Structures are given as structure tokens and as C-alpha cells.
């Protein structure tokens, strides 16, 4: 990962992708799991499963973890660790930092692979003739790597989003030849659907490591370390209130929490949302996606401290209702976006919404859903919500919490209106199944007047705690 400062381009922020060992917290189980595999290879054990996948939402710390492991393994005798960044073309396949076996892929095609293999060969002293092919360079590279009799750990970061043709080249000329060497461990990271390989040991015999966000106590440890650095020292003076607010706004995702810790929640929440959506290059599409997310985000759990019983997967009828409610408010009541609304005002808006002629149809819903799914911001999933299995569409958690928090902070009237619609929706269903839908209706009802002094989760009884 490149060493560079925070760059601000207009209102869009590119986060510093800088690995700092002093800030690394948590992930002890994952570090131990990969480390034990390397130790067994060092001891000469024959291990059949030598491919691992680290997955999770954007900003959860997949790259952070893989770089931590890479830096650890580089310090071990008898271990050679190579880190390749496949996340996006940067324009250079040079090492990321001098002296480290860290590389970026320049182009995801035959020429890009050849240049990557040549860069690797030069770094470790393998033969690099003036004229060469991918096949020849692969052979010389593998021979040099395996001749050392060291354990080889290869990290491929961001591989899940790479085009299939390049994945096939990578499989044929780097990964499969490396797996023929019994002391090789391959660690792939990414989000969404894993790449499809032909080789059984790359595609099927794989150890899965799925990362989740930090719990609040892990976030607190993270902040303790941040506070020792000058640019984050303000955290130490803000105390528990700042921690609680950052946890609610970030959902515990370290990348977002890092920016909010530096900027403060009030100033940093928009930058955090913009940074998470910054991978969408077209500005108009990015704005449209932001609107879709705002319209739908409150159908999933919007506060990480809410009990699991209020987790709910979106269904078609719910999604279309909320999309229409959102467009009604934005198009006809834009002057109320930032205002606090009284209960009687919300009831009057509800009556007007029933008569509104601008409603979208199911084809519009399908378009929205397809676009969000293609961008891996929405997926169909079955999860455990409290004691029940919850099935439906879920927005990427890493973006879900910041978008919801920004909606509450910047457009309070719209926030109230959408929660009012949620209360109406689940009150109706609670008449049929109160155990399932009453907690959902209550969550939306309590969130309508949500202020800085009160959050929805405070209105629910938590395990081991009595409600007031």
C-alpha cells in the first residue's frame, strides 16, 4: 500500500491506505490461524489445503490484516512473503515501498501479468532476459522461488474484483505453478463473489476467513492507540461520548472510524460516505446511488447497538414503498428536509402521500436493485436476526451505518418521514404477528424524534439490563 497523505479532491476524499503496525488491534484469532499454517509449513508438514480467502465488507480491514501478516512473515527466518495489490490499476508495478516484496498490478491483461512477473523476478534475482514471454518468465520465477527451500507466502489483495481473463492468466502462470511447491501458502483477499478457478485447490479446498467490524471494546482499544498520535490526540479529550457516536456512525468498521476519529463525526460523516462511494467514478451515477441508499437504508438496521430483533431484510413491496416515500418527500417537500416535524405534520404528509401521482413502479425498483447489486452495495442474504432467520436484501453494512447517520444529521425531516413510514408498515404487520413485527414498529417509532441525547437502542431492553 502506498505511503501518501490524505488527498482531498473537491468534496471527495481518498483515504490514506497506509499500514501502521502501531495502530493494529484485534484480529488475534485470524493472525493466529494464518500464523499456525505458516509454522506447520516451516516444520516440514505436508499440508493439502494451502489456499486461504480473507473476505468482508469494504473498510473492514482486509488489506490491513493481510499487510500485518505480510510484515510479520517478512521478519521470520525461512519465510519469504510477497504482497501483490490487485485492487485497481495504479499506473505502476514498482514496489510499494523500498526493500519490501510488495507490488501492484499495472494492467489486468497479458502484458500486465508479464510486467508483474518481471518485477518479481528482478526483486528476488531470477533470470530476466531482454525478450521473454509469460510462460518463460513464470518458469524462471518459480524455479528461483522454490530453489530457496523457504516457506513462500503470497498475498493477493483485492483479487475478487479482477476480470476473469486476468484471473485465468494468473492461475495458469503463477498460482498453480506455485502450488506445486509444497511450502507455498496463498492468501487472497476481497469482497463479494470470490474468483472462479479451475484448479481444485484454488477453488474448492480453501480456508475461509470472514472479517466482521470491531466491537465497541475493540474500537476503544483502537482509539487508545490513535490518541497517542498527534493528529488523533483530540480523541483522548472527547472520551466515551465521542466513542459512542463514532461507533454508531461507523458500525465499528475501522476505515470509517479512522476518518471520523480524525475529522470528528459532525465534520467527517459526509467525507466518510463520499470516501466509501468514491469507487464510483461517474459523479452523476454516484449521486444517484447515494439517493437510492438514502431511500432504502432504514429498511435494514441503522444503528449497530439496536437489538438483533430489529434486523430486517428488504422485500420488494417494502423497497418500492420506501423508494416512493423518499421521492415524494424530496420532490414535493424539499423545504422540509432539514426541519424537525411534529407528529400531526407527519400524519398530514402521509395523507398527501396517498394521493401523490408520481409513484414509481416495479420496473424502477428492479433497475435500482440491479444497479446496487452490480456495485456490490446490495445483496440477497439469509441471516440470523434475533431468534429468527431473516431473509431479504441487505445493504452493505460498511456503507449502511454512515449513510443512515448522515441522513439523521443533515436531513432530519426526511429521517423522521422515512421512520414514520416504517412505523406504519410494521404496525400493520404486527396485527398479524406481533412477536416478529412489534420490535420493528417500536424501533421506527422511537427513532422518529431521535436526538443527540437519545438513541433508538436506549429504548430497548438489552441482555442483562432492565429497561427504564
Q: What is the pLDDT of residue 19?
A: 58
Residue 5 lies in a domain: no
192 plus 310 within the same structural domain? no
Residue 359 has pLDDT above 60, yes or no: yes
Query: How high is the pLDDT of residue 98?
Result: 32
- Give domain status of residue 80, yes or no: yes
Span 315-349, pLDDT tens digits: 999 999 999 999 999 999 999 999 999 999 999 99
Nearest CA-CA partner of 96 in 74, 77, 76: 74
**At residue 465, does pLDDT exceed 60?**
no
pLDDT of residue 90: 38
Find out whether 242 and 263 touch, Cβ atoms under 8 Å.
Answer: no
The residue out of 191, 210, 229 marking a domain boundary is 210
What CATH number does the domain containing 206 carry?
Answer: 3.40.50.300
Instruction: Say if residue 245's pLDDT is above 80.
Output: yes
Q: How far is CA 229 from CA 64, 211, 214, in A?
A: 18, 26, 20
Q: In this structure, are strands 388-395 and 378-385 parallel, antiparallel, or unpaired?
A: antiparallel
Instruction: Assess whether 203 and 350 both reside in one domain.
Output: no
Domain containing 89 equals: 27-210
Q: How far is CA 163 from CA 177, 194, 421, 466, in A?
A: 21, 11, 41, 52
Residue environment code for 159-182, b if the CB has 16+ CB neighbours within 10 A, otherwise e: bbbbeeebbebbbbbbbbbbbebe
- 304 and 434 in a common domain: yes
Same domain for 324 and 204 = no
The pLDDT score that the predictor gives to residue 358 is 92
**pLDDT of amino acid 23:** 74
Same domain, 53 and 201: yes
- pLDDT, position 286: 95
Q: What is the pTM of this model?
A: 0.81
| Domain-embedded: residue 234 | no
| 324 and 447 fall within a common domain | yes
204 plus 301 within the same structural domain: no
Per-residue pLDDT at 264 exceeds 90: no
* Same domain flag for 202 and 346: no
Residue 3 pLDDT exceeds 50: no
The reply to whether 59 falls in a domain is yes
Question: What mean pLDDT comes out for the span 354-360?
Answer: 94
Give how many domains the chain has, as a whole number: 2
Note whether 311 and 194 are same-domain residues: no
Residue 95: predicted pLDDT: 36
Amino acid at each position: 500500500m502506498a505511503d501518501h497523505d490524505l488527498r482531498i479532491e473537491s468534496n471527495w476524499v481518498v483515504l490514506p491506505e497506509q499500514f501502521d503496525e502501531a495502530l493494529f488491534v484485534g484480529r488475534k484469532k485470524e493472525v493466529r490461524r494464518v500464523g499456525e499454517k505458516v509454522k506447520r509449513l516451516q516444520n516440514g508438514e505436508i499440508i493439502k489445503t494451502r489456499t486461504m480467502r480473507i473476505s468482508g465488507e469494504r473498510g473492514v480491514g482486509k488489506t490491513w490484516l493481510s499487510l500485518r501478516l505480510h510484515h510479520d512473515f517478512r521478519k521470520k527466518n525461512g519465510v519469504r512473503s510477497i504482497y501483490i495489490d490487485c485492487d485497481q490499476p495504479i499506473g505502476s508495478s514498482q514496489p510499494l515501498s523500498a526493500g519490501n516484496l510488495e507490488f501492484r498490478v499495472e494492467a489486468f491483461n497479458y502484458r500486465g501479468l508479464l510486467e508483474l512477473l518481471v518485477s518479481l523476478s528482478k526483486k528476488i534475482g531470477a533470470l530476466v532476459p531482454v525478450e521473454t514471454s509469460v510462460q518463460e518468465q513464470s518458469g524462471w520465477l518459480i524455479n528461483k522461488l522454490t530453489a530457496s527451500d523457504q516457506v513462500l507466502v503470497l498475498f493477493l489483495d483485492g483479487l475478487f474484483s479482477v476480470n476473469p481473463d486476468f484471473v485465468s492468466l494468473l492461475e495458469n502462470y503463477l498460482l498453480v505453478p506455485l502450488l506445486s511447491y509444497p511450502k507455498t501458502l496463498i492468501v487472497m483477499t476481497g469482497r463479494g463473489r470470490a474468483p472462479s478457478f479451475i484448479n481444485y485447490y484454488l477453488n474448492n479446498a480453501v480456508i475461509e476467513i470472514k472479517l466482521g467490524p470491531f466491537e465497541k471494546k475493540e474500537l476503544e482499544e483502537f482509539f487508545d492507540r490513535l490518541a497517542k498520535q498527534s493528529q488523533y490526540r483530540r480523541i483522548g479529550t472527547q472520551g466515551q461520548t465521542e466513542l459512542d457516536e463514532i461507533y454508531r456512525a461507523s458500525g465499528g468498521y475501522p476505515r470509517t472510524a479512522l476518518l471520523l476519529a480524525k475529522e470528528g463525526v459532525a465534520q467527517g460523516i459526509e467525507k466518510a460516505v463520499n470516501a466509501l462511494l468514491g469507487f464510483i467514478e461517474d459523479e452523476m451515477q454516484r449521486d444517484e446511488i447515494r439517493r437510492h441508499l438514502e431511500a432504502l437504508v432504514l429498511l435494514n438496521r441503522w444503528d449497530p447497538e439496536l437489538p438483533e430483533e430489529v434486523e430486517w431484510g428488504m422485500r420488494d413491496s417494502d423497497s418500492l414503498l420506501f423508494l416512493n416515500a423518499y421521492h415524494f418527500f424530496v420532490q414535493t417537500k424539499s423545504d422540509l428536509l432539514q426541519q424537525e416535524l411534529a407528529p400531526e405534520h407527519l400524519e398530514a404528509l402521509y395523507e398527501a402521500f396517498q394521493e401523490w401521482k408520481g409513484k414509481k413502479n416495479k420496473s424502477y425498483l428492479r433497475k435500482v436493485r440491479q444497479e446496487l447489486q452490480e456495485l456490490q452495495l446490495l445483496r440477497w442474504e439469509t441471516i440470523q436476526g434475533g431468534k429468527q432467520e431473516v431473509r431479504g436484501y441487505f445493504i452493505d453494512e460498511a456503507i449502511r451505518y454512515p449513510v443512515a447517520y448522515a441522513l439523521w444529521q443533515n436531513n432530519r425531516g426526511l429521517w423522521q418521514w422515512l421512520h414514520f413510514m416504517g412505523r406504519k408498515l410494521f404496525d400493520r404487520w404486527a396485527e398479524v404477528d406481533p412477536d416478529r413485527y412489534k420490535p420493528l414498529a417500536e424501533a421506527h417509532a422511537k427513532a422518529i424524534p431521535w436526538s443527540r441525547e437519545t438513541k433508538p437502542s436506549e429504548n430497548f431492553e438489552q441482555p442483562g439490563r432492565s429497561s427504564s
